[in-house]
Amino acid sequence: MKIAKFQSFEQASSPQKGPSRLAALRAEMELEKLDGFIVPRSDMYQGEYVSPKDERLAWLTGFTGSAGFCVALKKNAAVFVDNRYTVQVKAQTLEAFTAVDWPQKTLEAWLIDNAEEGAKIGFDPWLHTLDAIEKAQIAVSPFGITLERTDNLIDRIWQDQPDTPKEPAFSFDLKYAGKSADDKLSEISSLLRDEKQEAMVITLPEDIAWLLNIRGSDVDHVPLVHCLGILACDGQFDLFIDEEKTASIRNTLPDQVNLHPLTRFEQALTRLCSPVRVDARSLPYAVALCLQKANVRTSKSDNPISLPKACKNQVEIAQARISHRRDGAVMCDFLAWLDTQTLGELTEIDVAIALEELRRRNLELLDISFDTISASGPNAAIPHYRVTRQSNRILRSGEVMLVDSGGQYLDGTTDITRTVAIGGQSKEVCEAFTRVLKGMIAVSKLTFPAGTKGQEIDSYARTALWAVGQDFGHGTGHGVGQFLSVHEGPQRISRADGPAFAEGMIVSNEPGFYKEGYFGIRTENLLLVQKADFEHNSQFFKFETLTHVPIDKRMIVKDLLNLEEIIWINDYHSVCLKLHLAQVTPQTAEWLRQATEPI
């Protein structure tokens, strides 16, 4: 398996080239007699994390966020981003592109307002889902606007587009997975038989990785291998994958798994018997078209892999606890190191490199789980800030330092954010820090009945902020995979709807507050959903905190806390000390004792 290099601090896009590239795109639109073209962030696997080859949105516009899309018309172009990226998109794009708040303004609404009647808007059917295209076409049709399938116009004009990744796949050992691929295939195929479905088309690599207990290195920081699959109701599985990736997994896959070149996938679709189960929210529109042309009837259903993958088994849970304890000790060493640094030359890049070097002392580390967010002062107000050599700044006294990072270990995926005081802090910063902490504690302490969704929990993280007219634009928490994606659905804590929480789910708890141009605060732990200890009622859940790293007491305003919150903080810090004292260096041990003293 490939061991990742340090993250790159080079600027990943060229915003200044955006206008000329937009002009080239419009020339291709003219050749195709199109009035517009949609450029999404996603690849054909509908992933949040994509390979350099698929960074079409960044190449065209300069915007490097993990979500969004661009619509280019003949006379104007818009980049759609959510609340996490409203500051970033302004900094990364030129006037040729207008930023649009999404989903407050949808693609369909924008097209209705900006495209002329009769406009033909092109799209690559491999990069958009069946659900998205069908909804968009229904909405814009009354206004004479049509969505037209075409090949990818960006690929035509991107002369030095990177190659398709060819990293080999590798097996994920049963001692980490906790359930064999045979058992998983049997479980999902049994569901297909119960639903009287002949087969299921699987186009999400993370689903195949979980199902077959394989991993890969086709995208940075997420151990995925690009592949597609078809699971038959009898348990046979056809895996479509580039042959050069399969050398180390051929002898470990179950007998019922048949390997095929990725190029044979569309042909295989035409031979399927009806009905075939598909998830319209993730299925590429091109796959739906192929099935339709072959007269294969589809059954639109929820993804049956999402929940089993999200609900970690007992082996995965035990391994997750190990990885979080290991990573927590690293974070203690890091925070102790940061507190001893002399200001004047220390930069955001220095901080990110120091943290990764500490993580790399563990032989179990295979990669970081995402590019470290190492953000000081005003940069901390950008929730998904990625430091580059151009944006890098020196840490200054009186500012906060926000570090959001994680590791990819065979036994787990970690994600933690701590905001650290660099010198004395203002009353405004300390009060905001404390209110964010109150929200994090409120979620951590919750017990809740079965059937509760993250949407119902989200307000607990915001109540202390709302009380003084403050809020944060991103969700409170996202699901986390087990040596898979650090952002894994379907569970989440946010205003948006999602499934009910179930035992074994791992979710982040990360409220924040951001004052654009001045500072940003976020405190994040990972939580595990467990059965609550009520003898009289077994239908309740609670959260077990997996992350144990001290929270900076220098910014806690004790007068804003109630007694239960003070007890929680002191108990939490007591556990941090107990777990890590023997794991850290002597210098860190002294720091840890002080950092965990009761408030």
Contact 366, 410 (CB under 8 A): yes
What whole-number distance in Å separates Cα of residue 201 and Cα of residue 284?
11
Q: Is 244 helix (H, G, I), strand (E, B) or coil?
A: helix
pLDDT digits (tens, 9 = 90+) for 470-510: 999 999 999 999 999 999 999 999 999 999 999 999 999 99
Segments in 426-556 forming alpha helices (H)? 427-444, 454-457, 463-466
The pLDDT value recorded for residue 405 is: 98
536 confidence band (pLDDT: 50, 70, 90): confident
**Over 60: is that where the pLDDT of 71 sits?**
yes
Residues in the chain: 599
> Percent of the chain scored above 90 by pLDDT?
93
- Write down the mean pLDDT value for the chain: 96
**Over 80: is that where the pLDDT of 404 sits?**
yes
The pLDDT value recorded for residue 5 is: 57
Contact 476, 493 (CB under 8 A): yes
State mean pLDDT over 210-230. 96
CA 339, distance to chain mean position in Å, is 30
Tokens (6 digits) for 478: 């996202």
Q: Is 112 helix (H, G, I), strand (E, B) or coil?
A: helix
Contact 486, 369 (CB under 8 A): yes
The pLDDT value recorded for residue 98 is: 95
4 confidence band (pLDDT: 50, 70, 90): low
Closest Cα to residue 45, out of 252, 233, 209, 237? 209
Q: Would you tell me how many other CB atoms lie within 10 Å of the CB of residue 360? A: 15
Q: Are strands 36-40 and 120-123 parallel, antiparallel or unpaired?
A: parallel
State mean pLDDT over 282-291. 98
What whole-number distance in Å separates Cα of residue 421 and Cα of residue 272?
60
> Percent of the chain scored above 70 by pLDDT?
99
The pLDDT value recorded for residue 436 is: 98
Contact 577, 593 (CB under 8 A): yes
pLDDT digits (tens, 9 = 90+) for 116-148: 999 999 999 999 999 999 999 999 999 999 999
Tokens (6 digits) for 550: 């001290």
Q: Is 188 helix (H, G, I), strand (E, B) or coil?
A: helix
Give residue for tokens 């398996």: 1
Give residue for tokens 């993370």: 206
Buried b (16+ CB within 10 A) or exposed e, 581-593: eebbeeebbebbe
Contact 55, 49 (CB under 8 A): no
State mean pLDDT over 550-558. 98
What is the maximum span of the chain, computed from C-alpha positions, in angstroms?
Answer: 71
State mean pLDDT over 249-263. 97
The pLDDT value recorded for residue 7 is: 87
48 confidence band (pLDDT: 50, 70, 90): confident
Q: Is 417 helix (H, G, I), strand (E, B) or coil?
A: strand
CA dihedral of 484, 490, 491, 495, whole degrees rounded to 10: 130
DSSP, residue by residue, 476-525 = SEEB--SSS-SS--S-EESSS--PBP-TT-EEEE--EEEETTTEEEE-BE
What whole-number distance in Å separates Cα of residue 401 and Cα of residue 423?
10
State mean pLDDT over 90-112. 93
Beta-bridge partners for 66 = none
pLDDT digits (tens, 9 = 90+) for 304-333: 999 999 999 999 999 999 999 999 999 999
The pLDDT value recorded for residue 87 is: 85
Tokens (6 digits) for 233: 């109701």
Closest Cα to residue 168, out of 250, 67, 64? 250
Q: What is the 3-state secondary structure (H, E, C) of 349-412?
A: HHHHHHHHHHHCCCCCEEEECCCCEEEEHHHHHCCCCCCCCCCCCECCCCEEEEEEECEEECCE
